[in-house]
Each structure stands twice: as structure tokens, then as C-alpha cells.
Structure 1
Amino acid sequence: MKGMNDLVRQAQMMQRKMSKLQEDLEDRVVEASAGGGMVTVEATCSGSVKSLKIDPAVVDPEDVEMLQDLVLAAVNEAVKKGKETMESEMGKLTGGINIPGMF
């Protein structure tokens, strides 16, 4: 029975570490850009966009679609980076074991 108690204790410790890591990652900010840095987005690893910077040189009233595409590309890249960071950090903690529902 001692072995089972040790296993339960280890599982509880891992669960606490994972919860703490998730909290930390929710506030961690990643940055991505598009158009050679003309549009830059900062987002948290949980997917919340924190800031959007647009170089005035890219604002062309005749080509709004290009600006929209750049913003969309930068946002998508920032969200992707955040997700990859979260998965990587959680993978380090779990030893690469995929735990359903964690991401």
C-alpha cells in the first residue's frame, strides 16, 4: 500500500506543478510580426492579444486588404507561438506524456 500512497503523492505534486505552470504561462507574453516587422503583435500563451503595433508606413488607404492580411498573419503567429510555448513547457513537466485536456 505504501507504493500506492507514494504514487498518489507524486501525482498530486505533478498536478500542483502543472497548475502553477499554467497560471504562469497565462501571463507569459510572446511576440510575432508580419511584413518584415511592419505589424507586431504581443499575446499571452493563453491566446489573449495584449498589443498591436502597426508601422505607419504600411497604412495605405488604397490597399486596406494588405494591412488586414498583415494584422491577421501577425495575430495568428502570436497565438501559434503562445500555444507552442505552452505545449513545450508542459511537455518538459510531464516528460512528454500527452495528458488529455491539459492544452
Structure 2
Amino acid sequence: MFNNLGNLADMMRNAGKIRETVEKATESLGQLQVEGTAGGGVVTAKANGRLELLAVRIDPKLLADGDAELLEDLVTAAVNQALTKAREAAAQSLSSLAGGFPIPGLSTLLGPGGGGGA
């Protein structure tokens, strides 16, 4: 029960350093980029580790079909896949940085399933 008190005390002493490290890591999440695809690659969405959508690419052949409902479904699927990958990559990156300790507010930043239990 008391095994982690020493670690907690160390964290409290190093709170400023930890905050700075987390801020740098959060900034670096903007550099992390992942892609989600749908329809066998006819729609591609790119997102960063901050869960910001960076780009969507749609194969011109799909546009020529004129099937708006299919296009909407594929764009939604590709974007959701990209955001899921970004959330997972960001959570992994930040939780490894935290050394297994929960980071307050991380689950809010990364949404459902993010933050390694934070």
C-alpha cells in the first residue's frame, strides 16, 4: 500500500520538471501524423497527435460516381480511423513519458480510451 509513496513524493518534488516534460511532449504530438483509410484506400484522412484533422484525400474516380452517401460514409470512416490511431499513438507516447503514473487531464485531452487509464 505504501510502496508508491516514495515515487509520489519524488513526483511532487519534481512537479515543475514533469509539467515541462509533459508540455514538450504535448507540443511534439503535433508532429506525430497518422493516416486512416476507407474504401480500399479511395479515401485517406491524415491526423496529428493533437487529434486535429490535417488532410483528406478522395480518389477522383469516387467523385465521378456522384454517390454522395457513399462518399460521406467513406470520409467519416477514414477520419474516425485516423483519429483513433492518433489517440492511441498519443496515449502510448504520453503514458511512456509518465512512467506509468496517470497524468491529470490526459483522458480529457485524448478522449475515450486515451491516457492509459488516467
Q: Same fold (TM over 0.5)?
A: yes
Q: How does 1:18-29 map to 2 (within 5 A)?
A: 18-29=22-33
Partner residue, 2:103: 99
Q: Between the two structures, name the one with larger relative contact order (CA 8 Å, sep ≥ 6).
A: 1
Partner residue, 1:83: 87
Gaps of 5+ in 2: 1-5, 110-118
Between the two proteins, the alignment pairs up a number of residues equal to 98
Sequence identity percentage: 39
The residue matched to 1:36 in structure 2 has which SS? Answer: helix
Gaps of 5+ in 1: none
Residue 15 of structure 2 is aligned to residue 11 of structure 1: yes
Which consecutive segments of 4 or more residues in structure 1 shift more than 6 A? Answer: none
Task: Give the counterpart of 1:64 among 64, 68, 84.
Answer: 68
Task: Give the counterpart of 1:42 among 40, 46, 62.
Answer: 46
The residue matched to 1:78 in structure 2 has which SS? Answer: helix
Partner residue, 2:59: 55
TM-score calculated relative to the size of structure 1: 0.83
User: Whole-Å Cα distance in 1 between the matches of residues 94 and 52 of structure 2?
Assistant: 19
User: Whole-Å Cα distance in 2 between the matches of residues 97 and 58 of structure 1?
Assistant: 46
The residue matched to 1:27 in structure 2 has which SS? Answer: coil
